[in-house]
Structure 1
Amino acid sequence: MEKFPITDRTEITRLAKRGVYDKDTVYAILDEAMFCTIAYVRDGMPFQIPTGFCRIGDKLYVHGSVGSFYMRELAEKKLPVCITVTFMDGLVLARSAFHHSVNYRSVVVFSEAKKVEDQDELYMALEVFTNKLQPGRWDDIRKPNAGEWKATMVLSFDIQEASAKVRTGGPKDDEEDYSLDIWAGVVPLTTTRLQPVPDDLLKAGIAIPGYLK
């Protein structure tokens, strides 16, 4: 099992047993997540940008307008960034207030941005991003025209320094509290896709695509 190297920035020190460094786990969490947060420091002030993303191999990709100030700044100044994603999988209700917790999966990546200049890589990143949001969508839509490609910027981030932290299971109470007459357990949390709602301006006679059923 291939693992990321443990560095001063990625080592899990608080509840170290929850730290995970194997690439399969880190990539699985990244691939399931729709959005990430990119954090960096500009002129001594912290900034966090929530954005959609996708992964291809050992790189993360984000896209936006060529007019995006933060994207231009990250690409031009090679600012170090911290990219995070988090899933809340359950509320862990213990018998004592102190031992309440959550089940979660999170990933932290340290990297820096590179502007994607290669047209094939640019095209692939937008295709993967679109199909990540909705599998099957790319083959069903009008592709970007020359003007839209020109207005789009894509940044890549090498995934070389990363770690995950994961909690699963039920509450961990103090031994003397297990005899208390208090309910304890886990309330699962999920993100669910609901029935698609058609656009008010949808052309008559267009059936819902099979990939949305």
Structure 2
Amino acid sequence: MSDSLETPLSKVKRGPNRAQYDKATAFEIMDASLMCHIGQTKNGQVFVTPTCHWRDGDYFYWHAHSKARNVKGPIDEPEKVCINISLLDGLVMARSAMHHSVNYRSVTLFGVPELIEDKTEKVRQFKIFLDKVSPGRWEYLRPISDSEIKATGLVRIKIDEASIKLRAEPPVDDPADNDWPVWAGVIPLNRSWGEGETDPIQSQTYPKANSPEAF
């Protein structure tokens, strides 16, 4: 099976020099991010929904209330959704206004969502998601209830049609501007989590949660 995610739909038309299509790079970006935006149509209207996501092998997952548009809609009327995952890595400060840019990594993914209804599999996926946010926390939590499982919709799409775009370079100014007397370069964006803030209603002291990964 090919590791290329390129199809006629996912092929990048604008800025193809920044495009890639390999699964390994796509997986890295998906795993390094926590939020995505899901685009879908309903009665001719486009809706974009932000949500958290995770990956398990060659499948991309998200969850919501079982009646939520981004879970129920594509199942009731099967059609491809378009999902974007983006990571901002830095500000690119150039010598002219029009050459300012950003360094970034992004994946645009296409697929028809598949509803996961098996109870055991749903619970397994919920644990995978929580382990992405806080590894090892699941085992300390109040067990998930049947009503919670039923009320939570879980869908996935196969990761087999996508494009990657990225920029990781210094400014690209016009050669005539290279000696213009202003600072130019890249200001990196460093992502990190702050100190945990304890719930004010908590009456006992417990060890703080495992630090989440820096998405």
Identify whether the pair has TM-score above 0.5, normalized to the shorter chain.
Answer: yes
Q: Is the 8 A contact 2:20 2:164 kept in 1?
A: yes
User: What pairs with 1:35-114 in structure 2 (closer than 5 Å)?
Assistant: 35-114=35-114
Aligned 1:46-195 pairs, distance under 5 A: 46-195=46-195
Normalised TM-score (structure 2): 0.92
Shift of 1:70: 3.9
Inter-CA distance 5–55: structure 2 relative to 1 (3 Å threshold) = closer
Deviation at 1:205, TM superposition (A): 3.0
Pairwise CA distance, 1:133: 1.9
What code does the residue aligned with 1:105 have? R
Deviates more, 1:89-98 or 1:3-12: 3-12
CA contact (8 A) 1:4 1:163 kept: no
2:204 alignment partner in structure 1: 204
Q: Which runs of 5+ in 2 are unaligned?
A: none
Q: Deviations over 1:130-188 (max 9, x none)?
A: 11122222122112112211222111111110111010011011111111111100111
Shift of residue 105, structure 1, vs aligned partner: 0.2
Aligned equivalents of 1:29, 1:70: Cα separation in 2: 22
TM-score by length of 1: 0.93
Q: Deviations over 1:88-111 (max 9, x none)?
A: 101101111121110000000000
Report if aligned partners of 2:29, 2:105 keep a CA contact under 8 Å in 1. Answer: yes
Moved more, 6-15 or 165-174: 6-15
Q: Are 2:4 and 1:4 aligned?
A: yes
Distance 2:105 2:5 in 1: 19
- Residue matched to 1:14: 14
Q: Distance in 2 between matches of 1:139 and 1:161?
A: 35
In the aligned structure 2, how far is the partner of 1:212 from the partner of 1:49? Answer: 27
Give, in whole Å, the separation in 2 of the partners of 1:96 and 1:69.
43
